[in-house]
Amino acid sequence: MFKINCLNQIANVGLDLFTDNYEMVDSFNEANAVLVRSSSLHDQELPRTIEAIARAGAGVNNIPLDKCAENGIVVFNTPGANANGVKEIVIAALMMAARDIIGGINWVNSVKEDPEVAKLVEKNKSKFSGREIKGKKLGVIGLGAVGVLAANAGNKLEMEVYGFDPFISVNAAWKLSKYIKPTKSLEELYQECDFITVHVPLTDKTKEMFNKETLAIMKDGVSILNFSRDSLVNDDDMIEALKSGKVHRYVTDFPNPKVCGVQGVIAIPHLGASTNESEDNCAIMAVEQLMDYLENGNIKNSVNYANCDMGVCTLAGRLAINHRNIPNMLSQFTSAFAQENINISDMTNKSKGQWAYTLIDIESSSSDCIVKKIREINGVLKVRVIK
């Protein structure tokens, strides 16, 4: 029986996939696997019982990836599962940045009791006039699952679209419209664009990429859309740029006390992926990946360990070993099996950075003795008997 703990609300269509062999538990400390959305795990102790954590979403900055890897915990995410939801809200944000729809609605609500409201509207509407996005230049930073869709949508809205992503994947490049203009540097994109939307993960390199210096390069009156992460933007510098008119509007999915209520800020309560469709897609993908890992030891879409797939084990035994990516590990595993006179039928070893993972199928079920022997090898982080 596998015990699952949900730290955030996960769509039922995903949770319903768990069979009778799974039990939902309220405590993180009791769980074998955890489903999470935006809750932070940075200050959590990681009990030995936890084998895997699945992030039902894309961003994993709320999870300590190396600390998890060190504890033999595989962390999954659900690439692309909520990308369309974000693309659609980016389109709405472009419209809200270009037209003062929000200011207009707020004003109408403030005069709603006036019997002359219809007349007042016609008299005052010019205060809320805006501009059109057709023909304007849109810069998309980060051409992954969301960025590609946002760039292609901008093109369909007849915008001139510029893209920047030095690490673009082949798969993403295939999906990108041929009309998107690649820029060689961020500076080029900043200088050209009237609207800039950012779709990169929050890392040490991208943190506060929108700051005094980079904002200064941009066009006067640029609008900036942030549906990625709060800390990509230096808030003090953004507020300064809004006050001076350098930035016309800042649309953010990440309200915080500094930016909320500032003139020109449109703060949305992290709704990018809050659609039934995105929540369902993320939940299904996260649960399927967890189940395949717990039941078969297979890894798909992990962000701290490499993908590894040996299908369903048809032999007597399978062992999963999380270990450091250092020399001589495999020979120590194989000699441990040889000493126990156990024949290895199949074996896969994959690594990602400093972490490695080995699946071993054997012709007899694994004894406590072999498990103990492997656990004692220096560099082994976790050994799991799958079968």
Ligand X SMILES: O=C(O)CC[C@@H](O)C(=O)O
Ligand Y SMILES: NC(=O)c1ccc[n+]([C@@H]2O[C@H](COP(=O)([O-])OP(=O)(O)OC[C@H]3O[C@@H](n4cnc5c(N)ncnc54)[C@H](O)[C@@H]3O)[C@@H](O)[C@H]2O)c1
CA distance 29 to 100: 48
Residue 4: both structure tokens together? 């699952």
Kindly list the distances between the CA atom of residue 24 and the CA atoms of 19, 28, 162, 278, in Å, as whole numbers in the listed order.
11, 11, 46, 22
Indicate whether 319 belongs to the interface with ligand Y (CB under 6 A): no
Rounded to the nearest whole angstrom, what is the least distance from the CB of residue 349 to ligand Y in the complex? 25
Would strands 355-362 and 317-324 be described as parallel, antiparallel, or unpaired? Answer: antiparallel
Chosen from ligand Y, ligand X, none, partner binding at 265 (C-beta under 5 to 8 Å by type): none
Q: Identify which of residues 229 and 373 has a Cβ nearer to ligand Y in the complex.
A: 229
Q: CA 375, CA 224: separation in Å to the nearest integer?
A: 51
CA distance 58 to 68: 17
Give whichever of 60 and 321 is closer to ligand Y, judged by the CB atom.
Answer: 60
Say if strands 33-36 and 22-24 run parallel, antiparallel, or are unpaired.
unpaired
Sheet containing 265-267, strands listed edge to edge, beginning at the edge strand earlier in sequence: 181-182, 160-164, 137-141, 195-198, 222-226, 247-252, 265-267
In contact, 164 and 189? CB cutoff 8 Å: yes
- Of the CA atoms within 13 Å of residue 224, those in its CB half-sphere come to 32
Residue 142 binding: pick among ligand Y, ligand X, none (C-beta 5-8 Å cut-off by kind): ligand Y
x/- mask, ligand Y, residues 213-252, rule CB under 6 A, reads --------------xxx-----------------------
Cβ neighbours for 362, distance < 8 A, ≥ 6 positions apart:
315, 316, 317, 318, 319, 337, 342, 343, 344, 345
Kindly state the smallest distance separating residue 149's Cβ from ligand Y, in Å: 8
Closest to ligand X by CB, 163 or 272: 272
Which residue, 223 or 228, is less far from ligand Y as judged by CB? Answer: 228
**Is 79 a residue that touches ligand Y (CB under 6 A)?**
yes
Which two tokens mark 229? 């992460």
Q: Which of 240, 280 has the CB closer to ligand X?
A: 280
Residue number closest to ligand Y, CB atom: 144
User: Please, what is the minimum distance in Å from the beta carbon of residue 274 to ligand X?
Assistant: 5
Please return the burial class of 208, using the count of CB atoms within 10 Å of its CB with bins 0-12, 13-18 and 19+.
middle
Q: How far is the CB of 300 from ligand Y (least distance, A)?
A: 15
Q: Judged by CB under 6 A, how many residues of this single chain contact ligand Y?
A: 32
Q: Is 141 in the site for ligand Y (CB under 6 A)?
A: yes
Pairing of strands 222-226, 33-36: unpaired
Using the contact rule CB under 6 A, the part of the chain among 27-35, 102-110, 135-143, 241-249 near ligand Y is: 135-143
Judged by beta carbon, residue 274 or residue 351, the one nearer ligand X is 274
Supply the minimum distance, in Å, between the C-beta of residue 166 and ligand X. Answer: 21
Residues that bind ligand X (CB under 6 A): 37-38, 57-59, 82, 272-274
From the list ligand Y, ligand X, none, pick the one residue 143 interacts with, judged by a Cβ distance below 5 to 8 Å according to partner type. ligand Y
- Comparing CA positions, the residue from 211, 35, 225 lying closest to residue 141 is 225
What are the tokens at 256? 């915080």
Beta carbon nearer to ligand Y, 228 or 281: 228
Residue nearest to ligand X (CB): 57
Beta bridge partners of 52: 33, 74
| Binding test (CB under 6 A) with ligand Y, winner from 58, 238, 282, 291 | 58
- Please give the Cα distance from 250 to 96 (Å, whole number): 10
Residue 206 as a binder of ligand Y (CB under 6 A): the answer is: yes
Rounded to a whole number of angstroms, the CA Rg of the chain reads 25
Which of ligand X, ligand Y, none does 200 bind, CB closer than 5 to 8 A by kind?
Answer: ligand Y
Question: With binding defined as CB under 6 A, does residue 386 bind ligand Y?
Answer: no
Q: Is the separation of the CB atoms in 206 and 200 below 8 Å?
A: yes
Residue 83, contacted partner among ligand Y, ligand X, none, CB below 5-8 A by kind: ligand Y
First to last CA, the chain: 13
Selected from 15, 145, 282, 336, the binder of ligand Y by CB under 6 A is 145
37 binds, among ligand Y, ligand X, none (CB under 5 to 8 A by kind): ligand X
Nearest-angstrom CA–CA distance, 380 and 387: 19
- Does position 146 interact with ligand Y (CB under 6 A)? The reply is yes
Name the site residues for ligand Y (rule: CB under 6 A).
Answer: 57-59, 79, 82-83, 86, 141-147, 164-165, 167-168, 172, 199-202, 205-206, 227-229, 253, 270, 272-273
